[in-house]
């Protein structure tokens, strides 16, 4: 399979919807952008953290950061066939994160099936 540049705008839009939902702690929107069986995996403080979508959503209200900066950006997109990885940076939990959002076409729509993240300042 080859790169699917025809879907670039679609996967970027999904990634930006994810970023906004994180900053707003919007459970409904997070459930829309993620596949129900999605995994969230990161390394915080030297400890690996694995979470189901439900576990991840349960802590998103804690991600509300009050006053800004509310900033996020798409740093990279890789599309091959029916899969994509979109790299985003965003501010939540009082710190900057880089997220790799793995996406697949599920039921005719792009959905995030896994999120890996790293914290940095």
Number of Cβ atoms within 10 Å of the Cβ of 100: 17
pTM, 2 dp = 0.89
The band of 1, judged by pLDDT with boundaries at 50, 70 and 90, is very low
What are 19-42's pLDDT values in tens digits? 888 888 889 999 999 999 999 999
Residue 56: closest CA among 107, 115, 13, 11: 115
Query: Domains in the chain, please, with CATH?
Result: 5-120 (3.10.450.50)
What are 49-100's pLDDT values in tens digits? 999 999 999 988 766 655 555 678 999 999 999 999 999 998 776 778 899 9
Residue 14: closest CA among 81, 59, 91, 79: 79
Check residue 45 and give its pLDDT.
77
HSE, CB side, 13 Å, CA atoms: give it for residue 110: 24
């Amino acid at each position: 399979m080859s790169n699917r540049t025809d879907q670039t705008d679609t996967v970027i839009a999904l990634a930006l919807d994810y970023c906004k939902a994180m900053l707003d702690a919007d459970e409904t929107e997070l459930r829309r952008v993620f596949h129900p069986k999605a995994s969230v995996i990161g390394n915080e403080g030297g400890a690996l953290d694995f979470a189901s979508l439900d576990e991840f959503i349960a802590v998103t209200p804690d991600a509300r950061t009050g006053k800004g900066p509310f900033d996020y950006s798409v740093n990279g997109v890789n599309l091959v066939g029916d899969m994509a990885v979109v790299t985003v940076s965003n501010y939540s939990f009082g710190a900057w994160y880089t997220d790799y959002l793995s996406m697949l076409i599920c039921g005719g729509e792009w959905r995030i099936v896994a999120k890996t993240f790293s914290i940095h300042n």
